[in-house]
Structure 1
Amino acid sequence: MTAGRLRVGVIGANPDVGWAAATHLPVLAELPDFELTAVATRRAESAEAAAARWGARHAFTDLDELIAHPDVDVVTVSIQLPARDDLVTRVIDAGKHVYCEWPLAINGAEAARLRDLADAKGVRHIVGLQNRHHPAVRLARELVAAGEIGEVLSATFSYSAARSHLPGDRLPRRMIWLVDRERGANDLTILSAHALDLFGTVVGGFRELSALLSIRTPRMVVDETGEELAVTSPDQILIHGELDSGAVAAVQIMIGTPAGAGARMDILGRTGRLTLQTTTANLIGGEFVAALARAGRPPTILEIPERHRGPLPAASVAAGNVAVNYVLLAEAIRTGAPLSPDFTTATRLHRLVDTIAEAASTGRRTPVTLSASPPAP
């Protein structure tokens, strides 16, 4: 299995729309270490269309048939958490390597269970936290680690975006889970977590933090039906605290603006300042530009070295970052090399999100620990 191409089955392989169509399917068509052998969707016609378009031999509507098929070595789970049930557990139980989209689980405790189950089964696992692979983010991490701006004194990250592409407080039906805190896939657990993973990749994790979570748009309207939805997940997220390094840090996520300004990260060092800024309002699919300022001089835009660019330079930004994940997964399967972002990475990030919710609920400065207990209701 590890000598030839790794055979992949993609669950959630809608041929026309969605994350798999934008990233996983075109990436697997280009990477030489992989072969797309199976796809699955809820409808036979869409599964067959995806198989025909991307050259897969098998099309399924029964997800367990894909998981169990002998032509599948790796299962990519590209459906959102509210529709996933125990799907990742079933993949692991079948002894298949797994690429799971983020969020991995409902909380840190469940993420740890999946990590431990996968490790006990001996399967390799990776999670869709691909933003850390932005070439400019990789460069920034290298510069900070090398001391190019001296000791980091403080760091900030801000991101603003519209909740959907529709005007006013309208939301397409396919996205209504975003406003439901109980379903585990919302602006705190998705957008904020992606931002926190990117932020932590460059400057390290939080040692302790305080948080404020607010719902400033309490009602949304389903665009197709006019149904009014009560919003229970926060759309304004503010986190501040101390990093493991001792640096002071703040992260702010602002959702619901008419036109978002994208993401900006500022790292103030003792001898310089490093800035990352997205070129669009899209955190997941936008490119970052890195700039470095020293000794009171104006910032200089940095060239990205080739070593930080992914294996598919002609791909979209999001697809290029996903491709890096697949390359890392292939190396881990073939050689036993360490792998990140894996389910251990996901468990730590879920626990950080749990801590943010706890700090906001209690109003107290809260240490970030390795405890997997979910936050109190």
Structure 2
Amino acid sequence: MAPIRVGMIGLSVATETSGVGALGSWGVNAHLRSIQGLSDEYEIVAVANSTVESAQRSIEFHKLPENTKAYGNPEDIAADPNVDLIVISVEVRKHHLLAIPALKHKKSVFVEWPLGANLAQAEELTKLASANGVKNMVGLQGRSDPLVQKVKEILATGKIGEVTSSTVTVCSSIFFVEAWLKDIEFYLDFNSGGNEFTILFGHFLDSFTYLLGDFTQVQGLLKSQINTIPIIDPSNGQVVNPAYHKTAPDSIFVQGTLENDALASIVFRKARSAADNVGFRWYITGTEGEIVITTEEGVWQHGISSKRSIKLKIGKEGETEQIDFSTGDISRASKVPSPGTNTARQYESFAKPDGEVVTFESALKTHRLLEKIAKSAGWEL
């Protein structure tokens, strides 16, 4: 079977050492490395950036084949008959504009999360994809994580009985905002659509509902308690704005009822450091037992690391069992370095006729839930 021919929008000259937060680094660390690691299934045939010259620089920098096409706008790459799949990995405010030409040309599309900068954009893209019969995927890679898949397996066995409640506490010190980088200030703005609430919290919320089902009732409390942030130019370390006004919430409290009538409580707190060095703790309580998932501080819940744990206890007298969630996976996707490993697993599934992926329609449900939480807290997305 011939490889899927990929056109990448937003491939920068960032490198693996640029850091996950650096502008353009996710497109390299997650998407480029995944595609290169799955060379039997995919090949990059085109790159589009803001100019043809910028696209050509990226092609040369990453040593892509000389016949890789360089484009300077989304319409031209979408119209290329040799492109099967358009991958969009840029900041969220551009997702809507860049995805529309690809969908209208009936290309398969992979859009990073969030799908749109707001609910209206996500709804429009979902409708257009459906109307054109376009195969699609959104970058909610947490569902592909072996830890999440192992918890799903445990729940499916019924070992803990009927789920009655779930409690989550997260210390988001991994993204402490005592300073921020120039050119990615949008992450500090609530109305950008790409901030701590929609990205950090939104990624977890998608995995939460994937495992436990949607909320039937929900109430949120959102607050921005760190309101001014110095902005630093990463090229020289100089402060370019000593007091940028941040509007995105950094404290996120959510309570509600799930579809099976279980109660849920999710708390994202902003501390400089967790007192117990646990950055993430998630209890799933059932009538027969309980699961607890933890990660050490500094390790995000979907990061590939040995510093993550699943424990299971059945009954009152039962022993607490440490659950092994290493899969013995020897696929090429598993060999793509973190943080791109789970994205590679998404690509691997997407290439299969019956592979499970997070579609626009599924991502739209998470957009709607975020909107509901924000409105309940008196905030508007």
Fold conserved between structures, TM > 0.5: yes
Moved more, 265-274 or 210-219: 265-274
CA distance in 2, matches of 1:359, 1:351: 12
**Structure 1 216/325 Cα, relative in aligned 2: closer, same or farther at 3 Å?**
same
**Structure 2 counterpart of 1:212, one-letter code:** L
Provide closer, same or farther for how the CA distance between residues 345 and 85 of structure 1 changes in structure 2, counting only shifts above 3 A: closer
Which letter maps to 1:289?
S
2:114 is the alignment partner of 1:94:
no
The SS at the match of 1:239 is: strand
In the aligned structure 1, how far is the partner of 2:279 from the partner of 2:47? 33
Instruction: Return 5+ residue gaps in structure 2 as ranges.
Output: 16-24, 234-239
User: Where in structure 2 are the equivalents of 1:40-59 lying within 5 Å?
Assistant: 40-42=48-50, 47-52=55-60, 53-56=62-65, 57-59=68-70
User: Which position in structure 1 is the counterpart of 2:198?
Assistant: 189
User: Residue 286 of structure 2 aligns to which amino acid in structure 1?
Assistant: G
Q: Secondary structure at the match of 1:64?
A: helix
Q: Which residue is equivalent to 1:347?
A: 364
Match of 1:358, SS state, is: helix
Q: Distance in 1 between matches of 2:311 and 2:360?
A: 32
Partner of 1:7: 5
**Per-residue deviation at 1:263?**
2.3
1:126 to 137, 150, 153: 137
Identify the residue that residue 341 of structure 2 maps to in structure 1: 320
Map residues 268-279 of structure 1 onto 2, 5 A cutoff. 268-279=285-296
Aligned to 2:236: none
The answer as to whether partners of 2:310 and 2:323 remain within 8 angstroms in 1 is yes
Match runs of 1:121-200 below 5 Å:
121-162=132-173, 164=175, 169-200=178-209
Give 1:29's aligned residue: 36
C-alpha distance in 1 between matches for 2:96 and 2:126: 16
Contact 1:23 1:322 in 2 (8 A): yes
Question: CA offsets per residue over residues 173-226 of structure 1, 9 Å max, x none?
Answer: 132101111111111111111010111122222111111001110111112303
Output the amino acid matched with 1:69: D
Q: Name the SS of the counterpart of 1:76 in structure 2.
A: strand
- Which position in structure 2 is the counterpart of 1:289? 309
1:61 and 1:284 mapped to 2: Cα distance?
34
> What's 1:231 paired with?
246
TM-score by length of 2: 0.86
Instruction: Quote the Cα distance in structure 2 between the aligned partners of 1:210 and 1:63.
Output: 39
Residues 301 and 12 (structure 1), Cα distance of their counterparts in 2 relative to 1, 3 Å cut: same
In structure 2, what residue type is equivalent to 1:254?
A: R
Percent identity reads 27
Please give the alpha-carbon distance, in whole angstroms, between the structure 2 residues aligned to 1:66 and 1:105.
Answer: 20
CA contact (8 A) 2:280 2:294 kept: yes
Partner of 1:248: 263
RMSD, aligned CA: 2.4
Contact 1:157 1:199 in 2 (8 A): no
Q: TM-score, normalised by structure 1?
A: 0.87
Q: Per the alignment, do residues 164 and 61 of structure 1 end up closer, same or farther by CA in structure 2, a change over 3 Å counting?
A: farther
In structure 2, the partner of 1:366 is none
- Partners of 1:11 and 1:241 lie apart in 2 by 38
CA 1:310 to 1:212, structure 2 compared with 1: closer, same or farther past 3 Å? farther
Amino acid at match of 2:260: S
* Residue 356 (structure 1) aligned with residue 373 (structure 2): yes
Q: Distance in 1 between matches of 2:335 and 2:75?
A: 34
How many angstroms does 1:315 deviate by?
2.2
Distance 2:119 2:94 in 1: 19
SS of equivalent residue, structure 2 residue 339: helix
Q: Does the CA-based 8 Å contact 2:171-2:268 persist in structure 1?
A: yes
**In structure 2, C-alpha distance between the alignment counterparts of 1:302 and 1:283, rounded to whole Å:** 16
Which secondary structure state, in structure 2, belongs to the residue aligned with residue 158 of structure 1? strand
TM-fit CA distance, 1:149: 1.0
Number of equivalences: 356
Partners of 1:139 and 1:308 within 8 A in 2: no
Decide whether aligned partners of structure 1 residues 281 and 30 sit closer, same or farther in structure 2, where only a CA change above 3 A counts: closer
Given candidates 324, 327, 331, the residue that maps to 1:306 is 327
Q: Distance in 1 between matches of 2:150 and 2:356?
A: 19
